[in-house]
Amino acid sequence: MQQDNFKKNIGITLGVITILGVLYMNIFWGKNSFAPVGQTLGNTSGVNPSAPVVPVSKAPTPATTPKKVTVPKPTIYYGDDEGEGGYPVSQTPPAPAPVTVTPPPVTVPKKTNASVYKDGTYSITVSYMSPGGYDQLGVSLVLKSDIITDGAVTDMAGDNRSARYQDGFISQYRQYVIGQPISGLSLSRVSGASLTTRAFNDALTQIKVQAKA
């Protein structure tokens, strides 16, 4: 009799611990796991009993959304060289006319005295429920003096549908390039659109003349 009670007590204790553990995970760790995407569930408790319990990596504290990085629009200079240029740099080129390059306007974030975020790389695996099932997306950010200096998203989608959406999201994450003058970079060579010959350049000049007429 005592043994049965004992087993019953252990069983109850383990059960309680498990439930508490699940609740703890859900409440403190599982916010990302259980937000159903565009779906309303039958129960309103906010916890989906059939979803797997997965701990989510802790976000950097404080857990606010990362600052949005403004990408400035670069100033574009169009070559006036009628299609020819880009001479191989190992030949001594004619000295190019000095080009005044106005640096593009850069948004300088206001700096506070103390750094709010600790410098470093932060990684998070975001888990979510999609109509295709449970899925994950990897995000990593590099913070330096409170500015996001680099970042990457990693496709971790298990389901094909999610993979397409993730690819779409990832492909939206872009880096933008800006030109630097060739002189001053000690280049051996330049690669780009194939250099043209005089014959072609003459033809280009002709059609431009005709277009103006």
Cβ–Cβ < 8 Å for 122, 143:
yes
Distance CA 213, CA 205 (A): 13
Number of residues that bind another protein (CB under 8 A): 50
- Residues 114, 199, 209, 213: which binds another protein (CB under 8 A)? 199
* Beta-bridge partners for 52: none
- Which residue stretch of 60-68, 110-118, 133-141, 192-200 sits at the interface with another protein (rule: CB under 8 A)? 192-200
Nearest to 125 by CA among 135, 137, 133: 137
- Residues 63, 174, 209, 213: which binds another protein (CB under 8 A)? 174
Residue listed under structure tokens 């993979």: 163
Q: Is 169 in the site for another protein (CB under 8 A)?
A: no
- Residues 36, 60, 66, 86: which binds another protein (CB under 8 A)? 86
- Residues 36, 60, 66, 85: which binds another protein (CB under 8 A)? 85
Q: Is 209 in the site for another protein (CB under 8 A)?
A: no
Cβ closest to another protein, residue 104 vs residue 131? 104
Q: Closest distance between another protein and the C-beta of residue 182, in Å?
A: 6
DSSP structural state of residue 133? E
Cβ closest to another protein, residue 1 vs residue 97? 97
Cβ closest to another protein, residue 28 vs residue 77? 77
Cβ closest to another protein, residue 35 vs residue 204? 204
Binding mask 33-72 for another protein (x = CB under 8 A): --------------------------------------xx
Long-range (24+ apart) CB contacts under 8 A made by 78-86 are 82/201, 82/204, 82/205, 82/208, 83/196, 83/200, 83/201, 83/204, 84/195, 84/196, 84/201, 86/190, 86/192, 86/193, 86/195
* Beta-bridge partners for 141: 122, 151
Specify the 3-state DSSP secondary structure of 134: strand
Q: How many CA atoms within 13 Å lie on the side-chain side of 185?
A: 10
Residues 138-157 that bind another protein (CB under 8 A): 149
Specify the 3-state DSSP secondary structure of 203: helix
Residues forming the site for another protein (CB under 8 A): 71-72, 74, 76-79, 81, 83-86, 88-91, 96, 99, 104, 106, 149, 171, 174-182, 185-197, 199-200, 203-204, 206-207
